[in-house]
Chain A
Amino acid sequence: MLRNYIKIAWRNLLKNKAFTIINLSGLTIGMTAVLLIAAWVQYQMGFERFHTHEDSLFKVYNRSTGPGEIYTWDVTSGPLGAALEKDFPEVAQSSRIYWSKDRLFSTGNTHIKAKGNDVDNAFLSMFSFPLLQGDSAHALDAVNTVVITEELAIKLFGTADVINKMVKIDNEDTYQITGVLENLPANTDFDFDYLVSLKANENLYSNNNSWSTNTFYTYVQLKPNTAVDEFNHKIKEEIKKYNAESETEIFLHPIKKWHLYSRFENGKVAGGRIETVRLVGLIGILILVIACINFMNLSTAQSRKRAGEVGVRKVIGAGRSSLMLQFIAESVLLASIAGVLAVLITIVVLPAFNQLIGSSVFINWLSPWLWLGLGVFILITGLLAGSYPAFLLSGFSPIKAFKGNFKKRGCVFNSRKVLVVTQFSVGIVLTISTVVIYNQINFVQNRDTGYDINHLIEIPLEGDIDKNFELIKNELLKNGAIEAMSKTAFGVTSEASTGSGFSWNGKSEEDEDLSFSLYRTSGDFVQTMGLNLIAGRDINLAQFPRDSTSILINEQALKKTGITDPIGKTIKRKDLTLTIAGVFEDFIIGSPYEEVKPMIVMGYKNYNYNTLLRLNPNNTTQKNLGLIEQVFKKYNPAYPFVYEFVDKSYAKKFADEKQMASLSFLFAGLAIFISCLGLFGLAANMAENRAKEMGVRKVLGASAQHVARLLASDLLKLVVISLLIASPMAYYIMQDWLQDYTYRVAIEWWIFIGTAAVLLIITMLTVSFQAIKAAWVNPVKSLRTE
């Protein structure tokens, strides 16, 4: 019997080729979208889940109560891990990680910059980053030992077989390679090419043993079966034990949640990427629903054709259930074909998808779960899509079916129309959201940065650059490659560190905890950045050695502190007295979505890690870069010449939003496309069903134009209703989304008008083909069928 069903289903699909193609492509696209989304969601959910000890690994977080708010952060003091290990038997082991560092690896003539971390030796036995060569337990025991990834090994030596070989790091010390790591999987937030032992290099960190300075990330592994909540309660006061002054509490955040739950509000997990994952998951479900609705719609539209068959089958002995089974078998067959096509398409488009959203989603095609899931998914899609037509068609009584007399008359909520409206509403919400998201990105991108972002490059301050800074600068000024150059604390597009505890004359009670963005420079900062100086002068340590206690502040700081006539006034922090040398107009450091904070730029000779260069705009960039490279090679020969354009780094701040925009653009497009496929099919069917009416109208003297308009307007009406339903929904959803941004765009009315106009044009194009076709038919033909 089932074979019989499938045979009939197959022949039916072949017979109604146009219907099959429309339906199949709709379903295939829908399923492809769902597969991609599922793969992406699974990828996001799979972060850090490959660690053998995934259930017992935690990151230590700090929690401290500030004014009206509880702050949560994950950088801890140096001795914390060891203390936890000593004080609590529940802790199996712990490891600190110093933040990521770019170091220069050299062997012979090969010099490569690699990113990596300094870790305690327990790191490799806690986390599952297996060694291809070497002993995980002891690889990082000794001083000057390094573990590198296979990839880095091949880059350096051309082979992965590098155990015990020597490599020079940062052009100073020679390290022994004691292990070769498997390349890191895509689904981890760890990002390193090498690991060196932190303990062995203890002397590098001046605040290694300080309880009051937070410098390290601390990870702990608990013994199995430790009740985490209880344990968190026990360790709360750990810092206070060693540092009575501190108010900071600590708690553990499980590894499984690092990736998806990384936002804390008031000391509690408040969300993070999980919100995007949920949103995208919801979109996936919506797309599938749209595709299923399409299927239902087209199948029920076919009911006139199939009604006769249903009648015959009933008369010759088919029960309702066997008919339903037949129709469901048919839709499951179609879903299976769509499923196979979707898998093939997914394989082909996955790289492009990854590129579009900037991720590295991968699918493990060998996993039996994948195929099981796919099977269930196809079955559910088939059932979902086939159940409504199955119910409807199998319900015809044979007599009615033969007469073709199964139209419900006078029913306002024609279910098929409701389905079309639903479909389009989803598409419209997605479209409007896409436009708003793009708008917001544009808006923020066009925000005045406050400095001249063009012709500005950054070079890491490393090797001999610091030593030869003045020589380099003079030579570059002389050869005309640059206009200005400055040593700064870190990149001007990175997140600035913040600090409070400053005091000044006239400081009021409410300014008690005013927090400032902090930045450092050795001089010429205002000039190099192209900032607008409102008062005073630039800092210049070379010219004015006393500038080591001079500061620049921004307009915002001036406003917030209430200092008048600022030049020469002082701001104090503990025993440090800082003199204001200049005031500049606000510029954006950190997030362009936030308001600019009060900022203090201090004159500092040391602790600068960045070189900022203002290129000469009269030369070509290429010429400038060539000249700069020559000079840097001369004064810092051991390091490869690397640079970054500030405008490019700035653009990276929009990556998350752009990913979101790309996703919603992609899926809005798909939703509308699938909906239009459905509309096309529906128009065809409507034209067919109303052929007789149109024939009569033409005989009575209606023009082709009139007939075409009559057919088209019916379907256009549905799209207009969808617009009316979806626009307020989209407005509401986007209003909510925008709340996350301090600096945000207003939702303009033209977005709705524009979307409506474009959609109506698309609909017209979709529908008019069928309408015009129907209108041109010779009425004799359409009337003869009866």
Chain B
Amino acid sequence: MDSVLRAENISKSFGPIEVLSGISLDLKPGEVHAVIGENGAGKSTLMRILSGHLPPTKGSLHLNGQPITFSGPVDAEAHGIVLVHQEILLAPDLTVAQNLFLGREIRRFGFVDDKAMRERTRAILHELGTNIDPDREVSRLSIADRQLVQIARALLVPHKVVAFDEPTAVLTPIEAESLFEIIRKLRSQGVAVLYISHRLNEVKAVADRVTVLRDGRHIATRGIEGLEPLEMARLMVGRDMSKLYPEKPETASDQIVLTVRDIAVPGYVENASFTLRRGEILGFGGLIGAGRTELFEGIVGLRSSHGTITLDDRNVHFGDAREAMAAGIVYLSEDRKGKGLLLQQNLRINLSLAALDRFSRGSFIDGSAEEKALDRAIKDFDIRTRSRDLLAGQLSGGNQQKLLLAKMMLLEPRIVIIDEPTRGVDIGTKEQIYRFIASLAAEGKAVVVISSEMQELIGLCHRVVVMRNGRVAGEVAQADLSEDSIVYLATGVHEERAAEIAAGHA
């Protein structure tokens, strides 16, 4: 069958750096075409070029065999190409119907026709298999429902190609399954679906063809028949997956440094208990929204919490992050840009912020000591920067993470809690960060790694505690670490069973 949208030799450069080079891809009507790759492989950039958000530097797009240039996303939409964004882009205070028709309101005699819009909204949502109230404010919807509204908004315009950018990142398996149902429905209507993800089991369940990107290059395009997730992973990473992770340091010690008993963070976590040993890397797994971040924010005093926290046989309670830091516990937020670094300030100010007391002589800051610390941090953590005067926001994700690590390590902590250590980090830097985490444990520090990447937990941690719906669902010991055991605890469903549901055999 002829392709509806075809990309030929697409390259994209930002300044001197080429993030995509020579990508060719074709989308046929009635197929689900998955694009997979590691973070930073260029998936999202490709998606944005196909949907008119970015112009390609080189190469051309063809729509129904005719070369075409999109002037912007609106132009692409007019040609029937719509993108469902990864982030939720809705106005939270407006209702579902108002959001759906935002910028394209139905008018009657110059006034908005709420009745018509409400009816259309109800019809579209019903078609998607949901009965969300069109008059409900978006802020009162669950994340999954918001995503459905976003999909409904995208499907409101006549569409030939629908692109989904990591749509399941915030969904539970059940919610993801209803999304796959929608995708299959689109496919049966002859729509071409572009599906971007790095969750390989999902790709296996929903895609007809798979294109693999690595470091901005096209690696392979294959039919899904006979392409197993393990092979996809090998294509994505380009080498044996097991070498990504360093040797796990021996946990020689049985010495418990932190005991958390029956801690509750109102609205997020109930009755969570666990222990942390010296020299160990303890993983925290679970779905997004399971309460892992909130649990640790509660422990270090960033959220109000109650329960018993015992640090070296002494009961403690931290009122704010400063107190936790003074006790030797640091927490590195998953939200590096929003909570980790001052993006508008330079590297030096960011580096010393948490440990400013150590750079003070009397009441004044010792600028030269700060500069020396920055030199050391750039060397020790291999922070790659064109200039020392850059702002933190101008670093790449991986280098921001290294800067955040350097900043918190200046406090010389004994317990390090790292939330999503490699989110938005390229593969080379991932390896460095893993090695760094292992070396922390080898030095005798206790490390907690919160991660949504199952492979990361398995490759890096000694033990994994899994949370589900704000509670600790269970713990997986080193010998039993597997995706299945984690998924089972995270969802309450075995993976084969989840895959069955996903494949539609339920």
Is chain B a partner of chain A in the same complex?
no
